[in-house]
Amino acid sequence: MIYTIAMGQADDLDSFRSAARKLLAGHVDPADVAWVDGDASTLFRSTPPDKERIAFVPRAFVSLAEVVARHRDTARWSLLYQLL
């Protein structure tokens, strides 16, 4: 199953973190996630599993994510999730 995650704002790091927690908790492979702009329409949308778990990441990753979130590349969310 491919999970489609709609990102509302250009630098919406909080939405990314929320979705990433659920994806990690559901053991969703990065290849099974499609990150799209919030205003982009898709025929089928699916949401991540409704689970959350505590995930600890290095402080350096959080700093990197803050910088990457401000970038315009549409692949930024996918790349960040792959790094997780």
d(CA 59, CA 38): 27
**pLDDT score, position 9:** 66
- CB-neighbour burial class of residue 20 (10 A; exposed 0-12, middle 13-18, buried 19+): buried
pTM: 0.73
d(CA 51, CA 2): 17
More confident residue, 62 or 53: 62
**pLDDT score, position 80:** 92
Number of domains in the chain: 1
Question: Dihedral of CA 39/2/47/54: which sign?
Answer: negative
Q: How far is C-alpha 67 from the geometric centre of its chain's CA atoms?
A: 15
Q: Give phi and psi for 56, each to the nearest 5.
A: -100, 130
Q: What mean pLDDT comes out for the span 54-69? A: 86
Band (pLDDT 50/70/90 cuts) for residue 84 is confident
29 is in which domain, residue-wise?
A: 3-83
